[in-house]
A and B are shown apart, each in its own frame.
Chain A
Amino acid sequence: MWIKTGKWTLGMLLITLLVCRDGWARDHENALKVTARVDRTTVELYERLALEVIVEGPARSLPAPAGLQLEGLKIVGGPQSSTQVQMANGAWSSRLSYTYQLRAEKEGSWTIGPIPITFQGRTYQSNSITIQVKKPEAPPAQSGIDSDSNVPNDRQSDLFVWATVSNPEPFVGQPIEITYELFTRIKVVNFEPERIPEFSGFVVEDVELPERPVVTNRTLNGKEYATAVVHRAILYPTTAGDLTLEPFAVKFAVEVRGRDPFDDFFQSPFGPPGRSSLFSQHQQEIRQSNSISLHVRPLPVEGKPESFSGAVGEFELKASAGKTTVQVGEAIVVEATLTGQHGLKLLSIPPAASITQFKTYEPKAGDVVPNPARPGWSMRTVEYIYVPFEQGQFEIPGIEFSYFDPNSSSYKTLRSDPIAVFINPGPSGEGIPVMARDQRGEIRLLGKDIRYIKTSAPIRSHIEPYRTPWFWGSVLFPFPVIPAVVVMSRRRRKMLEDQGYARAIRARGESTRRLANARSLHTNASFRECLDEMAAAFRGYLSDRFNRPPASISPEVIRDALTSYGVGADRIDSVLDIWETLASVRFSPVNPDPDSIARLMDRVSECLDELEKSRWKARTARSCRSDRA
């Protein structure tokens, strides 16, 4: 019962999980992305700036941002909108852009956003941006106008380009912002860069400006000007010393004032070309900005860390691993996030830590994106891949990143925490996987890596086993052994079955043993015992051969038996002579002569040898069988 209930509950739980997962996936797919950005974060009082709100999402139509709450800033233009809609794989996706013209109304630090947008019952929010509004700086001098410019003199002061840098004494590698601003009192229909400086001695990172320039009104030397940024870039000095930034030349199409009485009425700088008076015409004007001298300071040699690779500014570093328990051959991805104000795009990526038990791959750095948690800062994510070769518990060292902090004029080193990982054994027989990044930068499995060479193997030349002598010896070994075993087994069986045969086979061996015993007794001067042993050997041999009890052996029996077996008369007489000699010597009251005993022993031995050699041996065996039958 419990099992049934448990199964039902488990099933419902799984279904619920699937539904939730499906719902989450749909929500995730339908999520909107709302991004807010401005052309600059620091403006002077009453200066204009452009705010762009971008809404991206998987729908054909997207809602416009509403409820833009601003403090210290005022909307003076817009919104101008643009829409991009596309369909891919049966799914719509759109991108809406709304650009507002803002004007700074109060000094201080003001925050734009987060801007809310409601879509399909859900509210999404953009990032927030902080704008610094400061007092207007002193107006540029009239000397900023290029005297060599080939334009009428009376128009030079009405149209000029002014360059400013954020820091005239940066360190090598420290990013500085250069801004080229147009000042005009005449109507500019269009403009384009005529000559962009080479910026030799710098690495340049252009800053994207709004498509339509943001116009600000400023008063210089008592004259009212319309101003707009025409070019902005981040420069990274590469060498120390005094450097000069070349002028930036801009070609303008300006409207030449005619005698149209309505000119003043329609007069407006940066006006559209469509409203031209019948009496006005366009004229090309070229203006060059002022040159700027910089004093680039070298980085101090003392205290430079080994991991320093030229980053100058202010940075933060965090790292984490998605999965810390994996199998051998499975990739571990460590994601590090670098945050900083400038220079993230150009700085060298910290290298991956080298670990013996891991194969490491080139880190992949993502795009530089605004840091939502810290306005004005950007962030960049770097992926490190480690593929373990061995099982066990290991530690991936923290990622180290050093930079020079120009505010404190010192080097600083950031180090993320080490990450403990647990590697379980992987499936056997498979090679180590090889990962690589495809054209989109995604990691994919290329295949298996080449397994390493064998280094500890003893070098003995291999011979096919069937070519070796031991193989053929093993194969041929049974051929002589089998017949021998068969013969021996048959003999053994016969000896077990036929007692006469067994006695006949053992007769000579037994007599030889007894004669040897008699010889040792003779050596020890035990002559009587020697004679008894000799007689026992002789009698025992004959009784075994005749397959009779020892007590039944007599001269008559010997003669009859040997005669029936075809032994010659001389041999029979010799045997009987020994028989009688033994009997007489044994039972004689006189002590026997040792020499005669020795000679007798030799005679006995020779006699038994002769009998053994004679052919009656075989006949004895046959007759024994016939007797038994």
Chain B
Amino acid sequence: MRLIFGLLLILLGMGKVSAEDSFQALFDRANRHFESGDMDSAQGIYETMVRQGCINLAVYYNLGNCYLHKGDIGRAIAMFLRAERISPRDTDLQANLALARSMIGQPVELPKVNVFIGWIQRLHRSLSTFELVVSALMAYFLTITASLAVTIDSRRRSRRRYIRIAVFSAILFAVGAIGLGVRVHEREFIETAVAIQDEVSARTGPGDHFTEVYQQQAGYEMRVLRHQGGWAEVRLGNGFTGWVPDDSIERL
């Protein structure tokens, strides 16, 4: 039984290593195409990698660069946002994302938020999921350890110190857990998308016969509320809601 389990693990590991080797070779080839100016070939290989399930910062970033060079702002922003989910503070990524956003024809004007809330949102966005997980887990273990120390150690002075540590770490854990919970909620339960087509009419219902609400520009970032018959009901950052064709947006 142990032997079978061990062999299974080895086979799974080999499979993963083999796939990563293959991705690395594809990535290197795409980079060579990009450096030689063959943007189409580079883009094709990066897209193949993404289709095959390669979720990687450099692949998303480079593919976004290909789109940006070709003026496909919508897809470029979509790729940069995917890369941002992996490493939100990457300076190259932030520079190119800002550049792509600045190229949107008519950018969406976002409503002003409270300074403190804005700061919290920026801080939350700047932390990667890995960092949120690690900080929450560290606070979690510190809370448990301090609590156990309170239980085990009978000395009054030590207990008092452990109680303080336990309370402090419990607060940290609560903050970390909320941050992580919000992040998991955003990733798993909220569908977001980016418009990839310019001058698409957002309508009041899922059909061309409905009244136009606003004109969608490539690069608009939006939340998808629901889908119906090839249409998606979306909401922009400024609160505008409308129905747009499914193929005019790229889901993240």
Contact = CB atoms under 8 A, between A and B. Distances in A.
A454 B95 contact: no
B218 interface: no
Given A429-B91, A451-B96, A454-B92, A471 B133 contact: yes
Interface string B16-39: 000110011001000100110000
A451 B93 CA distance: 8
Given A429-B94, A464-B187, A459 B68 contact: no
Q: Which of A449, A457, A463, A485 has the most CB of B within 10 A?
A: A457
Contact of A466 (B35, B49, B58, B184): B184
A457 B154 contact: no
B229 interface: no
A593 interface: no
A461 interface: yes
A352 to B, nearest CB: 20
Interface in A420-471: 428-431, 447-455, 457-466, 471
A455 B31 contact: yes
A462 B55 contact: yes
A305 interface: no
Given A451-B92, A475-B140, A465 B152 contact: no
Given A466-B129, A485-B148, A489-B152, A451 B58 contact: no
A474 interface: yes
Given A429-B91, A431-B96, A489 B151 contact: yes
A429 B95 contact: yes
Interface residues of A, number: 32
A440 to B, nearest CB: 24
B228 interface: no
B97 to A, nearest CB: 10
Given A450-B96, A465-B129, A428 B91 contact: yes
A428 B92 CA distance: 10
Given A450-B69, A464-B187, A486-B151, A459 B98 contact: no
Nearest to B132: A465
Interface string B139-182: 01100100010011010000000000000000000000000100
Contacts of A482: 144, 148
A282 B35 CA distance: 74
A272 interface: no
A460 B34 CA distance: 20
A459 B65 contact: no
Given A430-B95, A453-B34, A459 B133 contact: no
Contacts of A475: 137, 140
A599 interface: no
A463 B91 CA distance: 22
A478 interface: yes
B56 A457 contact: yes
A513 interface: no
B20 A461 contact: yes
Contact of B57 (A428, A457, A489): A457
A471 B177 CA distance: 13
A212 interface: no
B62 interface: yes
Contact of B24 (A429, A458, A474, A485): A458
A493 interface: yes
B5 to A, nearest CB: 15
B106 interface: no
Nearest to A432: B95
A429 B133 CA distance: 26
B211 interface: no
Given A459-B56, A485-B148, A489-B151, A431 B62 contact: no
A56 to B, nearest CB: 41
Given A450-B96, A453-B31, A462 B58 contact: no
Contacts of A430: 95
Given A429-B94, A430-B95, A461-B55, A485 B133 contact: no
- Provide the main secondary structure of the chain A interface: loop
A379 to B, nearest CB: 38
B54 interface: yes
A484 B116 CA distance: 44
B231 interface: no
A486 B91 CA distance: 48
A4 B46 CA distance: 66
B236 interface: no
Interface in B92-129: 92, 94-96, 98-99, 102, 129
Nearest to B95: A431
A364 to B, nearest CB: 25
A255 B86 CA distance: 91
Contacts of A455: 31, 35
B98 A448 contact: yes
Contacts of A460: 20, 56
A465 B187 CA distance: 12
B66 to A, nearest CB: 8
Contacts of B68: 450
Contact of B54 (A428, A453, A459, A465): A459
Contacts of B193: none
A448 B102 CA distance: 10
B249 interface: no
Contacts of A485: 148, 151-152
A453 B61 contact: yes
A462 B56 CA distance: 6
Nearest to A471: B133
Nearest to B89: A429
Contacts of A451: 65, 92, 95-96
Contacts of A454: 57-58, 61-62, 92
A448 B99 CA distance: 6
Interface in A303-319: none
Interface in A476-504: 478, 482, 485-486, 489, 493
B53 interface: yes
B59 interface: yes
Contact of B23 (A459, A466, A478, A493): A459
A480 to B, nearest CB: 12
B130 interface: yes
Nearest to A463: B55
B35 to A, nearest CB: 8
Contacts of B184: 466
A245 B89 CA distance: 71
A489 B148 CA distance: 10
Contacts of B180: 466
Task: List the 7 closest A-B pairs by CB distance, nearest first.
Answer: A457-B58, A431-B95, A454-B58, A465-B133, A453-B62, A451-B92, A489-B152
Given A459-B49, A463-B55, 8 more contacts: A430-B95, A447-B102, A450-B65, A450-B68, A453-B31, A457-B27, A461-B20, A475-B140
20 contacts: A429-B94, A429-B95, A431-B96, A431-B99, A448-B95, A448-B98, A451-B92, A452-B65, A452-B92, A453-B58, A454-B92, A457-B27, A457-B58, A459-B23, A459-B27, A462-B56, A478-B141, A485-B148, A485-B152, A489-B152
Interface of A: 428-431, 447-455, 457-466, 471, 474-475, 478, 482, 485-486, 489, 493
Interface of B: 19-20, 23-24, 27, 31, 34-35, 49, 53-59, 61-62, 65, 68-69, 86, 91-92, 94-96, 98-99, 102, 129-130, 133-134, 137, 140-141, 144, 148, 151-152, 154, 180, 184, 187
